[in-house]
A and B are shown apart, each in its own frame.
Chain A
Amino acid sequence: MNPVSAIRVSGLMKRFRATQALDGVSLDIRPGEFFGLLGPNGAGKTTLISILAGLTRADAGTASVMGHDVVRDYRAARRALGVVPQELVYDPFFNVRETLAIQSGYYGLRHNDDWIDEVMHHLALAPHADKNTQSLSGGMKRRLLVAQALVHKPPVIVLDEPTAGVDVELRRSLWDFIAGLNREGHTILLTTHYLEEAEALCGRIAMLKHGRIVACDTTRRLLQHTNEHCAQLRVDAEALPAPWQARLQRDADGSLRFDFSDYAELENLLADLRGAGVRITELHLHEPDLEDVFTDIMQRA
C-alpha cells in the first residue's frame, strides 16, 4: 500500500473569467517533505493553495491533504492544514494573544497557552502579546499570520510568501523555526520569490507558469539542469595565448569572463596561461544558482 501523501492534487483546473489560473496541475508531496512552489506573478500558486485550503473550489480535478479530500472530507483536511495567507490580513478588534487564543478555539483547542507562548517566542511576538493587531508593523503582522497558521500544530504547513516584508534577522529565525518543525516531521509547502531561500530550504521544487507545472524535481537535480559555469579573472598581461583570445570576453572593468560547461576546459585554460607565463591576479567562480535555473526554465517554457 502507498503511504498517504501529505498533499496530493491531480488534474486541477481553475478559471477566473478570462484567466485560466490553473491548467491541469498534478502534484504529490510526501509527508515530511520541504517542498517549494515557484513561479512568476500570476502563475497560479495562490490559487492552488486556496483550493487546498477550501477557500476556492476547483473547476475540475481533486485535492487532498493527508489523504482527506478537501471538499468531501473538508473538516479533516482543514484540521491537517495550516495556511499562511499571502495577503497581510488581521482583525483590528483584538490583540496578539487574543487573536491566537481565538484561532486555537476554532480548532477546538481550549487550553493552548503553552504552545501559543512557544510560537510567540519563536516568532519574536512575545513582547507584543498585548498589543492591538492594528498597531503592529507589517513584518509583525506577517509573523502573527504565521503564528495563527501554527496554533493547531498542523502536520501540513503551507506558507504563501511568508517572508515578504520581514527583516533579515527575523527571516532567519523564522526559517530556523520552520526548518525545526520540518525536522519534527511537519510537511512544508512554500512559495516565495526569494529564490535563494527556496534553494537553501527546499528538498524538492515545482515551477509553475500560466497554471501549468513546467518543472518538478529535487533541488539538487534542478541545479544540475544547467552546466553553464562562469569564471571571472584578472591577469597581469595584456596579450593572451592565441587559442584563448576568442573564448574570453573582456568586461568593462578590464576583467575577463570565461564561460564553460566542463571543468576540464578551465584546467586547460589555467595550464596554458601558466605555460605562457601569464600570472592570475584574481579569480572568481560563479556556480549556477536556482535563479539561473528558474530564469532558464521560464524562458523555455
Chain B
Amino acid sequence: MSGFPALFYKEMLRFWKVVVQTVVAPVVTALLYLLIFSHVLEEHVEVFPGVSYTAFLVPGLVMMSMLQNAFSNSSSSLIQSKMQGNIVFVLLPPLSYLEFFLAYLGAAVIRGLVVGLGVWAVTLWFAPPQMPHPGWLLAFSLLSCGILGAVGIIAGIWAEKYDQLAAFQNFLILPLTFLSGVFYSIHSLPPFWQAVSHFNPVFYLIDGFRYAFVGQSDADPWLGLLVGGACFVAISAFTLALLKSGYKLRH
C-alpha cells in the first residue's frame, strides 16, 4: 500500500483546490431546491404523519447531493486525466489496482460526506435538527457515497469524451436519484411505479437515510442495508476486475 496515501492525497487536494465548484456550488443548489419545494408544498403535503414536508425533504436532498457529488468526484477526475493524458502519472508507478480503487473511492466518499454535511448544515435554518438514529445515518451515507464513488470510477474509465460522461450522468444517475423518493414518498405513486421503485437500489439508500432523520420509512432499513451492502460489494468487485484487466487504461 506504499503509493495509496499519495494518490488519495492527490485526489483530495484536487477537489479541495476548487472547493467553490465542488462543495459550495452543490450546497447552494440543494438550498434552492429546498426553498422552492418546501415553499410550494409545505402546506399541501404530509408524507408521514407528524412529519412536515420540509423535514421529509431535507434528508432526501442531503442524500441526493452526496450521491451526485461522490459520483462526480471519481468520474470527472478520471475523465480529465484521460483527456489531458496525465493519467500516465498514475499508470507508470507501481500502484496496485486495489490502491488505485481505494484512493479514488476514498476521495469520492469524503467529497460526498463534505457536501452532505454542508447541505445538512444550511438546512438547519429551515427544519429543526432531529436525529433519532445516528447509526443508520452513518451506515447509509458511507454506503451511498461508496456505491456512487465506485460507479463514478466505472463511468470515468468507460467514457472517452465528456459528453459520454454527461450521458451517463443524465440517463442513469439523475433518474435513479430523482425517481427514488427524494421529493415524495413512493407510497404516493401508482402501484406499478411503486413496485418498480423497489428495484431501484437508490430508493433503499434514500429511504434508509431518511429513517435516521425522521424515524419513519417506506421500507425496513435493515432491508435497505442489505440491498445497499450487496450493491456495494457487487459494484466494487466489478470495478476491481475492470481495473485489473486494464480496460481502456492500458491498451
Contacts and interface: CB of A to CB of B under 8 A. Distances in A.
Nearest to A105: B6
B90 interface: yes
A104 B6 contact: yes
Contacts of A79: 93-94
Nearest to A74: B94
Interface in B154-203: none
Interface string A138-169: 00000000001000100000000000000000
B39 interface: no
A55 interface: yes
Contacts, number: 80
B29 interface: no
Given A89-B84, A94-B13, A54 B89 contact: no
B89 A106 contact: yes
A180 B85 CA distance: 30
B130 interface: no
Given A54-B250, A55-B250, A56-B250, A107 B14 contact: no
A75 interface: yes
Residue among A87, A93, A107 facing the most chain B CB atoms (10 A cut-off) = A93
A92 to B, nearest CB: 7
B251 A54 contact: no
Interface string A40-77: 00000000001001111100000000000000001110
Interface size, B (range)? 20 to 34
B89 A76 contact: no
Contact of A105 (B5, B86, B88, B91): B5
Contact of B92 (A55, A76, A102, A105): A55
B9 A102 contact: yes
A78 interface: yes
B2 A107 contact: yes
Contacts of B81: 91
A55 B3 contact: no
B93 A78 contact: yes
A53 B87 CA distance: 13
B88 A89 contact: yes
Nearest to A98: B13
A55 B251 contact: yes
A56 B249 CA distance: 9
B95 A56 contact: no
B231 to A, nearest CB: 30
Interface string B211-251: 00000000000000000000000000000000000100011
Interface residues of A, number: 32
A74 B197 CA distance: 45
Contacts of A57: 246, 250-251
Given A83-B92, A102-B10, A107 B3 contact: yes
Nearest to A50: B251
Interface string B1-20: 01101110110011001100
B91 A54 contact: yes
A108 interface: yes
B184 to A, nearest CB: 39
A78 B88 CA distance: 12
A264 to B, nearest CB: 54
A78 B113 CA distance: 35
Contacts of B88: 55, 83, 85, 87, 89
A175 interface: no
A103 interface: yes
Contacts of B17: 93
B157 to A, nearest CB: 15
Residue in B6, B10, B93 whose Cβ sees the most chain A Cβ within 10 Å:
B93
A79 B5 CA distance: 17
A149 to B, nearest CB: 8
Q: Which 9 A-B pairs have the closest CB atoms?
A: A105-B6, A108-B2, A106-B93, A89-B85, A75-B94, A78-B94, A56-B251, A106-B3, A91-B86
Interface of A: 16, 50, 53-57, 74-76, 78-79, 81, 83, 85, 87, 89-94, 98, 102-108, 148, 152
Given A76-B94, A89-B84, 19 more contacts: A54-B91, A54-B250, A55-B92, A55-B251, A56-B250, A74-B94, A75-B96, A81-B92, A89-B86, A93-B17, A93-B18, A94-B10, A106-B3, A106-B6, A106-B7, A106-B93, A106-B95, A107-B2, A152-B93
16 contacts: A53-B91, A55-B88, A56-B251, A57-B246, A76-B94, A85-B85, A89-B88, A90-B84, A91-B81, A91-B89, A93-B13, A93-B17, A105-B3, A106-B3, A108-B2, A152-B93
